[in-house]
Amino acid sequence: MFTGIIEAIGKVENIVHEDANVHFTINSPFTGELKIDQSVAHNGCCLTVVAIKDNEYVVTAIKETLDVTALDELKVGNLVNLERCMIMNSRLDGHIVQGHVDQTGYLDTIENQDGSYLLTFKYDEKDFTTVNKGSITVNGISLTVVNSQKGQFSVALIPYTWEHTNMHQLNIGDKVNLEFDIIGKYVAKLMNK
């Protein structure tokens, strides 16, 4: 369980393909606090730590994960948003995030709004929806939807979020991981019964 509040930005140091699996080596400021089997969200995708050495750790993505996320587009040198799993006795600053990416979307527009940024993303609305003032997770970041339309939504970023996540690296057309609000998903499922 996560909150969507990014703790750090990690750097992809190595990528190894083994059969259908991909092993990512990540350099992180909190590597020394990790342990084997711990869950860490990488751009919103929960992956398990399988090895640790110095300031680097390794996580493995299987075919299922690679098929539904944007992890297969990572390259050595890319920055990833990192969040360790939630501690149950602390504040839930973002929203309830499972680290289970529902689908990918892509960045359609970036608008500099004189100190903040308005980003619009497009996605396949077949199974999911957003609502104005609802929650969405983009690359692991808990964000508030400011403009929900069919197959697209916008989010407004304060300068801190822009600078302290990998959002400032995105270009128009880049693929992102999306996790829709868990409460909204349950409501939608119940309404369709």
90 is a domain residue? no
Range of the domain at 35: 8-84
Residues 120 and 79 in one domain: no
Tell me: do 18 and 73 sit in the same domain.
yes
- CA–CA separation, 154 vs 118, rounded Å? 7
The secondary element (H helix, E strand) that includes residue 103 is strand 103-112
68 and 110 fall within a common domain: no
The CATH number that applies at residue 186 is 2.40.30.20
From the centroid of its chain, how far is CA 23? 18
Same domain, 119 and 183: yes
On whether both 65 and 109 belong to a single domain, the answer is no
Q: Do 9 and 31 contact (CB within 8 A), yes or no?
A: no
Q: Are residues 123 and 151 in the same domain?
A: yes
pLDDT, tens digit, 9 for 90 and up, residues 135-184: 999 999 999 999 999 999 999 999 999 999 999 999 999 999 999 998 88
Q: How many domains does the chain have?
A: 2
- Dist. CA 67–CA 61, nearest whole Å: 10
pLDDT of residue 126: 83
Residues 52-92: pLDDT tens digits? 999 999 999 999 999 999 999 999 999 999 999 988 777 77
- If asked whether residues 27 and 69 sit together in one domain, one would say yes
Q: Based on the fold, state whether residues 112 and 182 are members of the same structural domain.
A: yes
Same domain, 73 and 130: no
SS (H, E, C) 118-162: EEEEECCCCCCCCCCCCEEEECCEEEEEEEEECCEEEEEECHHHH
